[in-house]
Amino acid sequence: MPITVEIVDSSAAAEVLKKVFAYFVAVDERFSTYKETSEVMRVNRGEVKKEDYSPEMREVFALAEQTKKETNNYFDIKKPDGSLDPSGIVKGWAIQNAAEQVRAMGYRNFFIDAGGDIQSQGMNAEGLPWSVGIRNPFNLDEIVKVIYPHGAGVATSGTYIRGQHIYTPQNPEKELRDVVSITVMGPNVLEADRFATAAFAMGREGIHFIESLKGFEGYAIDAKGIATMTSGFEVYTKI
């Protein structure tokens, strides 16, 4: 997936970007379900015992279990075939960790985007708050809403790019057709990401689930192109 890292502090150097991208490469090597040599694939083949999981794998699995409980089982990394796929939480987790690395190096104005999930802080190169465009899922060249996260995490879950890759754990065979995208703003990108995936799996109820979460806002677009937003969403449309 495309990854963008922009650091606009005057002291930023190319070496910082190399470190951040090296971290994303390491995460991919560990968690990719498309690489037979990754740790998660070795776990799925039974080649790695629980006691031998890496600290990162333990952390992600624990977050996944926590999210499963908090979403009434709508988030579940166990696929119908019994294998584990933590993709629904790893991206936000990785972006959040990368952002923490950038902060630890003393930078205060940055933007990190991996596959449409975003963590930003401070101001952009023009000295203005960072902005994020929510795409029209029926016309990817069109932006239907511009939001200003002001440090919040942003995550979008949907089927308009990758097709039917998300399923409802209670009924894995059912295709999710009612909603095509849901964008969630939360305290940070990890929190936004883990709840966005579950909310999408809930279908039309997903936006109401986000409404019920303190500190979260959302914007859902259904199959007819009709948008529904949470009651406090408009705060993110203001500079």
Domains annotated for the chain, with CATH where assigned, are 3-237 (3.10.520.10)
Per-residue pLDDT at 195: 96
Q: Which tokens is 220 given? A: 């859902």
pTM: 0.93
Instruction: Chunk the chain into consecutive blocks of 10 residues (it has 239) and report each block's average pLDDT, rounded to whole numbers.
Output: 94 93 98 97 97 98 97 93 94 98 97 96 97 95 97 88 51 68 97 94 95 98 95 96
